[in-house]
A and B are shown apart, each in its own frame.
Chain A
Amino acid sequence: MDILNALVAFLNFVFIPAAAYGAQLALGALGVTLIYGILRFSNFAHGDTMAFGAAMTIFATWALQAIGVSIYPLPTALLALPFGIAATALLALGTDRVVYRYYRQKKSDPIILVMASVGVMFIMNGLTRVLIGVDEIRFDDGARFVIDVRSFREWTGLTEGLALRTTQLITLVVAVLVVWALFWFLNRTRSGKAMRAYSDNEDLALLSGIDPERVVRMTWIIAAALATIAGALYGLDKAFKPFNYFQILLPIFAAAIVGGLGSPIGAIAGGFIVAFSEVAITYPWKKVAEYLGFDTGSAMLQLMSTEYKFAVSFVILIVVLLFRPTGLFRGKAY
């Protein structure tokens, strides 16, 4: 029985990766849930907005690197984020002006807006591919590790090592800051309150003199910022590849629905629930069990192989739809 080593193995292989991934999902799901709350449709283009934002951030990173700017040990991409956000926000506002506004004013069915978002998804996807290509890109300069396996072992004397990558720590720190800023904005500022009022009751908000177009514009800007940050962090952590952002759409939707569509706090909870279940179910628990003194024989104690991690988000989604379609935090379900 070796509780310390078991704990370290758990932290290293389950907790830290799941926490970083959960933060990325939560930021993505926040964007989806905000769009849903204000504009009342599921935005299928969100994954590709993330990809576009990450691509713009990569371009800005390259430009900064070319002129020799560096904030070692942090990755340059952090400095490049504002440029990425600005470009993505412009694109989002442009698509709203050209595509979504028409259907909003016509009061079309939500499903028509979903369909339009599929068209936007195609265009954004193509745009990203044209601009940056389809290959995998690594853009995480700076120090690779905050804690690496060898120095952790020397420091503690344990047999099990622990690694904390810079990108994982940055992901968590940035996510906390962004969420704090978002909640401060939504709860403390006039604009944020206007957004929440509009989301709760559109007609009442209009009667009290809230400008709907302004609310919608702010929503797109915030959603674009969240998407860019989530996309860039995901790219820093894993590596940037445009197609991955289409695949992350399902866990993001699952996270938003688990928390309750339209509920920001729910999106964050949902992101972590999905991420932790995904990692816990696809991780082979053999090592941890052996440290705890169980003899597992040849069994890997892996509930599902990693290829099926998307099935985990799907099952969570199905369970929530079956038992609590409004999500854990009572989102909107009309």
Chain B
Amino acid sequence: MATSRQAEAASPWRAPILLAVLVVLFVLEGTMRNALFSGSWNTSLAILNMGLISAIMALGVNMQWGYAGLFNSGVVGFLALGGLAPVLISVAPVQGAWSAGGLRVLAALVVGLGTLGLAAIVWRRLPKRSRVLGLLAVLIVGFVAYRWLFDPAVNAIEANQSAQFGNLGGLGLPVLLSWPVGAAFAAAAAWGVGKVALGLRSDYLAIATLGIGEIIVAVLKNEEWLARGVKNVTGIPRPVPYEINLQRDPAFIERAESWGMSVAELSGIWVKLCYAGLFIVVLLLLILLAELSLKSPWGRMMRAIRDNEVAAEAMGKDVTGRHLQIFVIGCAVIGLAGAMMITQDGLMAPTQYNPLRYTFLIWVMVIVGGSGNNWGAALGAILIWFLWIKVEVWGPQLIGFLTLPLPDGSLKQHLLDSSAHMRFIAMGLILLLVLRFSPRGLVPEK
């Protein structure tokens, strides 16, 4: 949310210049081998791919923050929820899991959600005196019924081939189908949180989303019947060829030889380029949609609400309703990015979902890139991701260089050991400096 709306128009060249800087950085990473860069196209493209996914996350956060001024501090949760989709949609079904208790788990979930819905109805319909009792009765009966259905079913599913699977497994459908499903999962959760926390003061949404983020990650870590919890699901199908198949393909080997590259290297690059192409298509499509909607009457209304809620409300706009809408849409985009990330990794490992890395780093990307500007958020995301990865390499080298005059000893060793944590300080500093001295970011809103 830019606070200084009257500021002079920024140069229209900022976005192209930032893009050019990024291209140069990635080319340097791919070609130069020295203390700063790895000189490997494989590394460069790996950073780029994750940067593109981060850009989609940043787009989602930018919709919430840049269009509506909503602070979502549970990005990691919506991302993780989206990541569940590839597991449930595209992994091959587990033999015997559904017959062991699949339907019963579904029934339990329906009963659980039904209880909450019924409780809401009871609370609204019953007369004031009896509604507390009615609410409690519905909740207690519902909870007991839920546990009665849920517990045996979960035990049965987890006992089924527990060493190798022990989970429900997926539907065996194409993995690309899981991307919109991941978005839908995240959107559903966002609707629930937004319904409760929006319309109150702005900090409450931040605190409520902090909670839902932690809970979703905890569910993924502990519910083994769902996605094996911390035992991880591996071998999630890919939408692109496998390196190992490429390396056996005679035509591919021939091409590698004619380009003078090793087959292993080219196959890695090839696969990553395929992913990059897919991600770029999704990213550009999202930016196109976001830009079009921002220029529509709906977009003007969103900005009007953001800039002056009271005035917009006086003009008859449903501020809370619009906030809920944009919050759900933004979370859907984050869920989509989560599904894409798991598809690229081919691995669902819930322990990787660290809030500092997947919530607050995304925030740094949006603020630095330019809140309210889709191109800014996307380019800022790729830039910050590149720096985040490289600071891990550069930090120790910088510390090593700075501590050269120090005698060898425990202090020097301690500084060298702790240099890996420097990037938290670096990111915090970047966030604070941009927020203070350039609150509109590198590519400001038009």
User: Which residues in A have their C-beta under 8 angstroms from that of B1?
Assistant: 109, 111-112
**A257 vs B205: C-alpha distance when bound (angstroms):** 12
Mask, B200-225, CB within 8 Å of A = 1, is: 11111011101110110011011000
User: Which residues in B have their C-beta under 8 angstroms from that of A102?
Assistant: 436
Question: Would A116 and B432 be within 8 Å (CB), given that A109-B3, A122-B427 are in contact?
Answer: yes
Contact status B431-A119, CB under 8 Å: yes
User: Which residues in B have their C-beta under 8 angstroms from that of A314?
Assistant: 208, 211-212, 214-215
Query: Is the C-beta of A308 less than 8 angstroms from some C-beta in chain B?
Result: yes
- Within the complex, what minimum Cβ distance (angstroms) separates A305 from chain B? 7
Contact status A321-B218, CB under 8 Å: no
Query: Is the C-beta of A185 less than 8 angstroms from some C-beta in chain B?
Result: no
Give the contacting residue for A110; candidates B73, B202, B417; CB below 8 A: B202
- Within the complex, what minimum Cβ distance (angstroms) separates A125 from chain B? 5
Say which one of B50-58, B312-320, B355-363 lies at the interface with A. B355-363
**A44 vs B200: C-alpha distance when bound (angstroms):** 18
Contact status A130-B425, CB under 8 Å: yes
Give the contacting residue for A253; candidates B201, B210, B363, B435; CB below 8 A: B210
Which of chain A's residues 83-114 have a Cβ closer than 8 Å to chain B?
99, 102, 108-112, 114
Contact status B71-A317, CB under 8 Å: no
Contact status B210-A123, CB under 8 Å: no
- Within the complex, what minimum Cβ distance (angstroms) separates B74 from chain A? 10
Contact status A123-B428, CB under 8 Å: yes
**A48 vs B69: C-alpha distance when bound (angstroms):** 25
Contact status B211-A317, CB under 8 Å: yes
Which of chain A's residues 110-160 have a Cβ closer than 8 Å to chain B?
110-112, 114-116, 118-127, 129-131, 133-134
Contact status B202-A111, CB under 8 Å: yes
Which of chain A's residues 256-311 have a Cβ closer than 8 Å to chain B?
257, 303, 305, 307-308, 310-311
Query: Is the C-beta of B196 less than 8 angstroms from some C-beta in chain A?
Result: yes
**A308 vs B214: C-alpha distance when bound (angstroms):** 9
Query: Is the C-beta of B300 less than 8 angstroms from some C-beta in chain A?
Result: no
**A129 vs B221: C-alpha distance when bound (angstroms):** 25
Question: Would A122 and B425 be within 8 Å (CB), given that A130-B418, A318-B208 are in contact?
Answer: yes
- Within the complex, what minimum Cβ distance (angstroms) separates B67 from chain A? 14
Give the contacting residue for B431; candidates A114, A118, A250, A305; CB below 8 A: A118
Query: Is the C-beta of A42 less than 8 angstroms from some C-beta in chain B?
Result: yes
Question: Would A110 and B203 be within 8 Å (CB), given that A123-B429, A318-B196 are in contact?
Answer: yes
Contact status A333-B201, CB under 8 Å: yes
- Within the complex, what minimum Cβ distance (angstroms) separates A118 from chain B? 6
Contact status A310-B215, CB under 8 Å: yes
Query: Is the C-beta of B173 less than 8 angstroms from some C-beta in chain A?
Result: no
Mask, A218-261, CB within 8 Å of B = 1, is: 00000000000000000000000000001101100110010000
- Within the complex, what minimum Cβ distance (angstroms) separates B129 from chain A? 16
User: Which residues in A have their C-beta under 8 angstroms from that of B222?
Assistant: 305, 307-308
**A61 vs B219: C-alpha distance when bound (angstroms):** 38
Query: Is the C-beta of B197 less than 8 angstroms from some C-beta in chain A?
Result: yes
Give the contacting residue for B206; candidates A42, A109, A116, A119; CB below 8 A: A42
Contact status B432-A123, CB under 8 Å: yes
Contact status A112-B3, CB under 8 Å: yes
Interface size for A (C-beta < 8 A) is 50
User: Which residues in A have their C-beta under 8 angstroms from that of B218?
Assistant: 307-308, 310-311
Query: Is the C-beta of B280 less than 8 angstroms from some C-beta in chain A?
Result: no
Complex: chain A residue closest to B201, CB-CB: A333
**A236 vs B206: C-alpha distance when bound (angstroms):** 30
User: Which residues in B have their C-beta under 8 angstroms from that of A111?
Assistant: 1, 69, 71, 202-203, 206
- Within the complex, what minimum Cβ distance (angstroms) separates B119 from chain A? 11
Query: Is the C-beta of B422 less than 8 angstroms from some C-beta in chain A?
Result: yes
User: Which residues in A have their C-beta under 8 angstroms from that of B204?
Assistant: 257, 321, 325
User: Which residues in A have their C-beta under 8 angstroms from that of B298?
Assistant: none
Give the contacting residue for B418; candidates A42, A129, A253; CB below 8 A: A129
Query: Is the C-beta of A72 less than 8 angstroms from some C-beta in chain B?
Result: no
Contact status B424-A42, CB under 8 Å: no
Contact status A115-B215, CB under 8 Å: no
Query: Is the C-beta of B87 less than 8 angstroms from some C-beta in chain A?
Result: no
**A126 vs B388: C-alpha distance when bound (angstroms):** 14
User: Which residues in B have their C-beta under 8 angstroms from that of A246?
Assistant: 355-356
Query: Is the C-beta of A41 less than 8 angstroms from some C-beta in chain B?
Result: yes
- Within the complex, what minimum Cβ distance (angstroms) separates B437 from chain A? 10
Query: Is the C-beta of B33 less than 8 angstroms from some C-beta in chain A?
Result: no
Question: Would A123 and B201 be within 8 Å (CB), given that A118-B431, A253-B210, A317-B211 are in contact?
Answer: no
Give the contacting residue for A121; candidates B207, B214, B428, B429; CB below 8 A: B428
Contact status A249-B210, CB under 8 Å: yes
**A73 vs B301: C-alpha distance when bound (angstroms):** 66
Query: Is the C-beta of B367 less than 8 angstroms from some C-beta in chain A?
Result: yes
Query: Is the C-beta of B5 less than 8 angstroms from some C-beta in chain A?
Result: no
Which of chain B's residues 210-261 have a Cβ closer than 8 Å to chain A?
210-212, 214-215, 218-219, 221-222
Query: Is the C-beta of A322 less than 8 angstroms from some C-beta in chain B?
Result: yes
Contact status A311-B215, CB under 8 Å: yes
**A307 vs B223: C-alpha distance when bound (angstroms):** 10
User: Which residues in B have their C-beta under 8 angstroms from that of A257?
Assistant: 204, 207
Question: Would A120 and B421 be within 8 Å (CB), given that A112-B3, A115-B435 are in contact?
Answer: no
Give the contacting residue for A307; candidates B202, B221, B367, B418; CB below 8 A: B221
Question: Would A122 and B360 be within 8 Å (CB), given that A250-B210, A311-B218, A317-B211 are in contact?
Answer: yes
- Within the complex, what minimum Cβ distance (angstroms) separates A45 from chain B? 10
**A333 vs B196: C-alpha distance when bound (angstroms):** 15
Complex: chain A residue closest to B430, CB-CB: A119
- Within the complex, what minimum Cβ distance (angstroms) separates A172 from chain B? 27
**A123 vs B431: C-alpha distance when bound (angstroms):** 10
Complex: chain A residue closest to B193, CB-CB: A318
User: Which residues in A have their C-beta under 8 angstroms from that of B423?
Assistant: 126
User: Which residues in B have their C-beta under 8 angstroms from that of A250?
Assistant: 207, 210-211, 214
- Within the complex, what minimum Cβ distance (angstroms) separates A324 from chain B? 11
Complex: chain A residue closest to B421, CB-CB: A129
Q: Which 9 A-B pairs have the closest CB atoms?
A: A122-B428, A126-B424, A126-B425, A123-B428, A314-B211, A129-B421, A119-B431, A119-B432, A42-B203
Besides A127-B425, A314-B212, A317-B208, 20 other A-B contacts (C-beta < 8 A)? A42-B203, A99-B432, A109-B3, A111-B71, A111-B202, A112-B1, A116-B432, A119-B435, A121-B428, A122-B425, A122-B428, A123-B429, A125-B424, A126-B423, A126-B425, A250-B214, A257-B204, A307-B222, A314-B215, A321-B196
Give the A-binding residues of B (Cβ under 8 A): 1, 3, 69, 71, 73, 143, 196-197, 200-204, 206-208, 210-212, 214-215, 218-219, 221-222, 355-356, 360, 363-364, 367, 417-418, 421-429, 431-432, 435-436
CB<8 Å pairs between A and B, sample of 30? A108-B3, A109-B1, A110-B203, A111-B69, A115-B363, A115-B431, A115-B435, A118-B431, A119-B429, A122-B424, A124-B428, A125-B424, A126-B421, A126-B424, A126-B426, A127-B425, A129-B418, A130-B421, A257-B207, A307-B218, A307-B221, A308-B219, A311-B215, A313-B211, A314-B208, A314-B215, A317-B207, A321-B200, A325-B200, A334-B201
